[in-house]
Structure formats: C-alpha cells, structure tokens
Structure 1
Amino acid sequence: MPTDSEAKNAQESARTDTHTTPLPRERNPARVLRRLRGIGVLLLVLALLFVLPWWTLFASGTDWPLPVFVTGTVLFGGALATFPFLMFTGHARRADRAARVADTMLGVVWVLFTWSVLGGLAHLLLIGFGTGGAHRARIVAVAVAAVSVGLLAWGHFEAMRVPRVRRLDVSLPRLGAALDGVRVVVLADTHYGPIDRADWSARVTEAVNRLDADIVVHAGDIADGTPDQRREQSAPLGVVQARLARVYVTGNHEYLGQAEGWLDRMTELGWEALHNRHVVVERAGDRLVLAGVDDLTAEHSGLTGHRANLSGALASADPELPVVLVAHQPKYIPHAAAAGIDLQISGHTHGGQIWPFGLLVRIDQPVVQGLSRHGERTLLYTSRGTGFWGPPFRVFAPSEITLLTLRSAAAGP
C-alpha cells in the first residue's frame, strides 16, 4: 500500500500531466475559410494600392525611357514585397525603425493611390475632349507625381507641428450659472510612437498651459507602445495645468500596449483615470459630473473589469447634475443620448487624417469631427486629434488642441 506521501506525489504528478499535455484543437473549416478569405482580400487591396500608382506613373502609355521604367518598376515592386514584413515587424514586434519605414510607405502610397485615381479620371476627360495628344499619359503622370509630392511635404509639416487651437462655445442648459465660462481643453490621439516626439509633446503642453484651463481632458489613444517605451514622450503630460481636474480615458490603442499600465502611468502623472467612474468638480456651489468609460474594444481585451460601462461610471452620481462624458469613440453616442448625457467628448477619427480616408471613417463612426447634436439633450464633440497614427502625414485634416468654453442658460445674456 502506498504511503500518504507517495499518494500525494502521484496526485501532483497527475495534475502536472493534465496541465502540460496539450489538448487537440479542432479545426473549424468555416473559420479557416473566413481567415483565408480575409487574407486574400487584404493582399488584393495591398496590391491595388501599389499597382495603380505604378501603372499611372510608369506604364499607362507614358513611354518613358527604359531606365526610368525599370527604376520605377523595381521601386514599386520592392516596396510591395517588403511592406507587409516591415509593418508586421514594426507594429507586432515593436521595432520602431521598421514601423517608421512602413508607416511612411503607407502614407506615401495612399496619397499616390488617391491621386492616381483622380489622374485616371482626368485622363479619360482629356481623351473625351480630344486634348493632350500623344503626351496625355505623361501629363497625367507628372501632374499626379507633382501633386502627391506637394501634398506629402505639406502633410508632413501639418502632422509634426504643434496643433492650432480650435475654440468653441458649447451651451449646456443644465449647467449652473457659477460654472458658466468653464474652459475645457481637449487632447486626443496623441499617439506617442515610433517617431520620438518628446520635444513636440513638451511644446503641446506649453500650448495647453497658455489656455488657462479649468479642466483638461485626454480622450484616449495616448500612445502606440507600452508606458516604458513611451515614457519620455508622455512625461510632459505631468506638467499640464488645470484648476479643477485633469481626466483621461483609454482608447483602442491602449489595448494594444498595456492598458492597465497606461492607467497607472496617467495616475503617476497626476491625472484622474476615468476607468468607468466619475469625479465631480465644483465652483461657487455649482457642480459638474465628469464621467468616463473604457473604449469599446476593451471588452475583447481579456482584461478583467475592462469594458465600456456607463452605468458603472455614473453610479452614485446625482441625476440632477449636468454630465460631461469622455468616451474615445464617437459611436458610443447612442448610449450617452439614451442616458441623457449633456456632452460627450470623443476622438478616434483623426478627422480622417489623410484625405479622403474620412469617407471610410464615416462608414464606422456617426461623426468625423466637430460638434453635433444627438437627441433632445445630448451634444457630441469629436476632436480631429492632437497627434497622428502611423503615417506622419495630415492632408486636409488638421490636428487640433480644442478649447471648449461651457455656457449656462442660467447665466443669462
């Protein structure tokens, strides 16, 4: 008969075997097919993004000398072949140098693709009107290249500069008279990332502090990367000044780079992390609720307690008080309107960032930028964002630091 010790060891061995022996995974044919179809669509789109500009610039009847044609073909072919590897290495494996190259390539090819489409339409018009003759293709190619280079140069300047201040008065009828004129500065989508923008971050903080804010809001997507990776770039947030509160909510990109760590980092920097919670600010007896919810992607992050939970955010809040809700994505607005929120502040869209990408954003989000009304009471302000994601370009979608001045009907004229 085995001793108690031997029996215990046998049980522990059995438990260990159970945990270390991998269970067979069943293959779901439908899931595999969907994944293959998705990869196929992605590769097709990627090929189209690179092939159409190549065709417009070098192969649409331009009849360039052979060295020009070969150089252009090698350039586009090499870019198409290396882009997926650079993008995966840069963003999935957090290699900043590869990410910088891949992101720049993406921005360049998107602008070239857009203007190649427009150039193709212009080519058809020239044919229809019988103008341009044998040099039509070259004229279109040179025009597409010139416009693209000009827009990329201007767009890079727009992305890297300190954003201009966008000022707007927002009327909240339930706001107490003593809170009339409260200044709310909004930051969103700073996206500290592979390009070191610590100096830019410091200059953004200086611009914010010149606005003499009562409340400063960061509406999420602080960074692409972990708090340790972006520590220097995020440090200037610690000296942002506000009389009443500095509040922050998670964006979808926090859930790609340690959301819990970013909540801790913002707390370390002196910000109130509105992780499905609220704070109340007061001036001369009148009060305002500042509430925040996690990003909509949080529910699928696997992190315990992370999901957009408006009822939790408003728990114990006085229902008679006006509420400003911070929710990263504008499409949270139906929940805010149903709850009678006075103002929702969001980001996420970047205003489209590189025209005409805003048209695609509009498919997913109800608003791309600016102030809009939803229901009888609820207003939504959607920031175009303070920084940029990925491609270091902003074309016809300028960045912004937003100054919202809250106005009360009770204050009178």
Structure 2
Amino acid sequence: MTDTSDTRPADGGERAPQPGWLHRLMRWIPLIAPLLLWAVPCWVLLYTGQHWPLPVTLIGTFLFVLGPVCMPLAMVRGHGRRQEDRAAIIGDTLLGTSWVLFTWSVLTGVPLRFALAVADAGGPEDRARAVTWAALGITAALLTWGHAEARRVPRVRRLDVPLPRLGPGLDGTRVVLVTDTHYGPLDRARWSARVCARVNALEADLVCHTGDIADGTAERRRAQAAPLATVRATRARVYVTGNHEYYSEAQGWVDLMDELGWEPLRNRHLLLERGGDTLVVAGVDDVTADSSGLPDHRAHLAGALSGADPGLPVLLLAHQPKFVDRAAAAGVDLQLSGHTHGGQIWPFHHLVRLDQPALAGLSRHGARTLLYTSRGTGFWGPPFRVFAPSEITLLVLRSPHAPPAP
C-alpha cells in the first residue's frame, strides 16, 4: 500500500484541489490578449520582409508599443471606479481597432502572400509590402463602415412566428423587440429618440426590452434612456434585466423603467388577451442576478409562471439565450433574448458560440420551444459593428387555428 501521509495537511483536513492548466491560463488572458492584439499586427506589418525605411519602422513600432499601454489604462479609467467617459471612449475605440487590425493582419498575412507568390507578382519585399497595405486598407474601410453601422438607427427585421398553441384571436399579434441599447459614454440621446420613433411606427401590441439598457447607473444615463417613455404599445411595454444592469445598480434601472411606464417582469407574468384568447407574457431576471447579492434578484422561472394556466401559450423574456434550456424544460412556446450582439465585430461570433446556444435569429429547442435571439439595438464598448448589423425586431405571432385571409 502506498504511504500517502506526507500528502495530508497537518490539521488532518483535505488538501484543496489544485487549479487545472486551463484555469491558470485564463488568469493570464487579460494580460496576454492586449499584447497579442498589438504585437501580431506589428510583426506582420513591419517585420516580415518589408524592409521599411528606418524612420517608418521606428514610428510604427512606437505606435504599436503605445497601444497595449494606453488601451488598458484607458479601459481602467473609463470602466473602473473613476467611470471617466472620455477615457472609456478612447479605450473602447482602441480595443475595436486592435481587434479588427489583428484579424485582418492574420487573414491577409499568409493567404495573400501565398497568392502573390503563386502568381509570381513581384519580389518577396514587394509582396510583404502589399500585405501591409492590404491589411491597413481593409482595416480602415471596415472601421469606417463599422462605426457608421453602430451609430445608425437599426433597420427593422420582420418575421412571422408560428406558435401551435396560439389561439386564433391572437393571430397577427405584433411584438416588437428592442434589446442591448447600451446607452453609455457616447451620448446617444438623439439616437434613442429616433429608435423610439421607429418603434412607434410599427404599431405594436407588445413592446419588449430584454435588458442591457445601459453601461452606467440609471442616474447617470437617465437622459439617454428618457425617450423610452415615448414608446407606444396597444397592450403593454415590458422589460427584464440584463447582465449589465447588475454592473450598474440594477434596482435603479428597474425603478427608472417603471417610472418611464414600462412594466418590469421580474420573475412574474401578465396576460395579454385578444379575441377571446390569452397569451402568458412572462419575464425573468438575468441569470447573473443569482450572484449579484441584491435582495430578491434571481432568475426564477417557476415564480414567473406561478399561477398561469399551463394550457396557455407562453412568451418568455430572458436576456441570455442560454436560459432556453430551462424554458424548454418548462414548455415555454417562445423565448425572446438578446445579449449576443450577433458577435458585433466579426469574427468574435465564434467566441460567443462557445457560451450561447444561438447567435442570432429564430431557432428551435426541444419539441415545443422557439428562441428568437436579437443581434441587439445598440452596441457595447467598441463603437463598431462589423458583419453583425443591429436590429429592431417585429415578430408577428401566427396561429394555425386562424381562418385563412380572404
């Protein structure tokens, strides 16, 4: 028998499990990622055979060294305890810029150089310089276009959603979804008013906001959120918290939305009745509420559906798509979510897929449950959207029992 007495602590208790290599690696990511985001483009664009004049190499290297120093400092000042909006704008912009530049330095570095070599286009130095100019040109174009995409009023995405249990009286019910407005360091009060005007033009029965209203407290972002009071719906305006509310005094946002005339569905439901038929509209706090430490804040689906007739169809608001596992187990008919931003800046969507079951659009989960995941109405952090356009969503609920249109 192996003697294990030397592995036990002196007090006789069990030795704490040692963290695995992946856990240890994750601790270093906040330090490693900024370095890689700037170091890789620096190497690809300046030091892989281009032979730039010395002043160009020195100035370029200085700028690439400045990036991983300035970006974290600005992010800390902007999003840390100081909450300095100007610093946040600088840090967020540098983050988005470095991500796009890193992506296209990698994507053009090897493939373009290989294609030029196969085509026998110029010498090695000419091909290396072509890679640099291509990466810089693509990055500049995508950042310019991506910024315009992030700042514009979202286009309306309309789709019919068939719900087998929906009564004929509710056929044609118009549900508008806005989410992830992320009012923040960039003042978007005018943008907010224009978004609300576009929502009102859709003549919705039900308007839903599935969280992440802002980055910052309700007191600080009140002016940007104030236009939400102008949103109109024939039946109800409902709201659930997102994870970003729990970074910024969530209860303050719940209170402000209530003040603006929206009904916070905090683990509760209301009934939408039309034509003799009824739809249960339920909402839950974001899943991060469970660890927020705030009293009575948690994601509690059973509480949200408590007292509802199990024979009625259920529309559920839950900020994160991954809540759909619980929704499907409870027999929810349709869950509306946001959170993913559709990836916001390609190819970040590959990382989002590691955490969420859906990126954007309508998907089926289990025998009954449909999930609609919005790409979001605003943007978070970097003021760019690249290949992930924002949206205001109009979902028209359809009943299989409704008589055909004449």
Q: TM-score, normalised by structure 2?
A: 0.92
Partner residue, 1:84: 72
Partner of residue 203 from structure 1, selected from 183, 194, 217: 194
User: How far apart, CA to CA, are the structure 2 residues paired with 1:377 and 1:36?
Assistant: 41
In structure 2, C-alpha distance between the alignment counterparts of 1:109 and 1:193, rounded to whole Å = 21
Of 362, 370, 380, the match for 1:389:
380
The yes-or-no answer on 1:340 pairing with 2:331 is yes
Q: Which residue of the other structure, out of 213, 216, 230, is the alignment partner of 2:204? A: 213
- List aligned pairs for 1:393-412, cutoff 5 A: 393-412=384-403
Q: 1:47 aligns with which of 28, 35, 44?
A: 35
Task: Indicate whether 1:57 and 2:45 are aligned.
Answer: yes
- Number of the residue aligned with 2:116: 126
Q: Secondary structure at the match of 1:55?
A: helix
- State how far apart, in whole Å, the 1-side matches of 2:334 and 2:27 are: 40
- Tell me by how many angstroms 1:39 deviates: 4.0
Deviation per CA, 1:354-377: give whole Å up to 9, x if none. 001011101111110000111111
Unmatched tracts of structure 2, length 5 or more: 1-15
In structure 2, the residue matched to 1:153 is: 144
For residue 59 of structure 1, what is the amino acid of its counterpart? Y
Deviations 1:120-160 (A, max 9, x none): 22224434554431311100000000011000000000000
**Deviation string, structure 1 residues 172-228 (Cα, Å, up to 9, x no partner):** 111111111010000010000000000000000000000000000001100000001
Q: Distance in 1 between matches of 2:100 and 2:66?
A: 18
Aligned residue in 2 for 1:98: 87
Per-residue deviation, 1:82: 1.6
**How far does residue 37 in structure 1 lie from its aligned partner after superposition?**
4.9
Report the equivalent of 2:299. 308
Instruction: Give the match for residue 70 of structure 1.
Output: 58
Q: Are residues 141 and 325 of structure 1, via their aligned partners in 2, closer, same or farther at CA, if it must alter by over 3 Å?
A: same
1:266 equivalent to 2:254? Answer no
* Aligned CA distance change for structure 1 residues 35 and 118 (closer, same or farther; 3 Å): closer
Give the TM-score of the pair, scaled to structure 1: 0.90
In the aligned structure 2, how far is the partner of 1:121 from the partner of 1:219?
42
1:323 Cα offset (Å): 0.5
Post-superposition shift, 1:284? 2.5
Q: Which amino acid aligns with 1:101?
A: I
Which runs of 5 or more structure 1 residues have no equivalent in the other structure? 1-27
Residue deviations 1:51-109, cap 9 Å, x none? 11112222222112222111111111111112111111111121111100000000000
Distance (whole Å) between structure 1 residues aligned to residue 110 and residue 233 of structure 2 = 51
1:321-364 alpha-carbon deviations (Å, 9 max, x no partner)? 11000000011111111111000000000000000101110111
Take 1:355 and 1:66, find their aligned partners in 2: how far apart are those partners?
34
Selected match of 2:238 from 243, 247, 253: 247
For 1:371, the equivalent position in structure 2 comes to 362
Equivalents in 2 of 1:282, 1:361: separation in Å? 37
- What CA deviation, in whole Å up to 9, does each residue of 1:231-279 have, x standing for no partner? 0000000010000010000000000001111100100000010111111
Distance 1:43 1:251, change over 3 A: same
Give, in whole Å, the separation in 1 of the partners of 2:398 and 2:122: 58
Task: Tell me, in whole angstroms, the C-alpha distance in 2 between the residues paired with 1:355 and 1:186.
Answer: 23
- Quick one: distance in 2 between partners of 1:37 and 1:388? 29
Q: Which amino acid aligns with 1:114?
A: T
Amino acid at match of 1:349: T
Counterpart among 152, 162, 166 of residue 175 in structure 1: 166
Distance 1:396 1:284 in 2: 41
Distance 1:245 1:268 in 2: 14
Instruction: State how far apart, in whole Å, the 1-side matches of 2:141 and 2:71 are.
Output: 23
Q: Which amino acid aligns with 1:111?
A: V
Residue 220 of structure 2 corresponds to residue 232 of structure 1:
no
Structure 1 residue 107 corresponds to structure 2 residue 96: yes
DSSP-derived class of the 1:229 partner: helix
CA distance in 2, matches of 1:108, 1:180: 46
The whole-number CA distance in structure 1 between the counterparts of 2:317 and 2:134 is: 44
CA RMSD of the aligned region, Å? Answer: 1.7
How far apart in 2 are the matches of 1:396 and 1:320? 41
Q: Matched residue of 1:267: which SS?
A: helix
2:218 is paired with a residue of what secondary structure? coil
1:195 is paired with a residue whose SS is coil
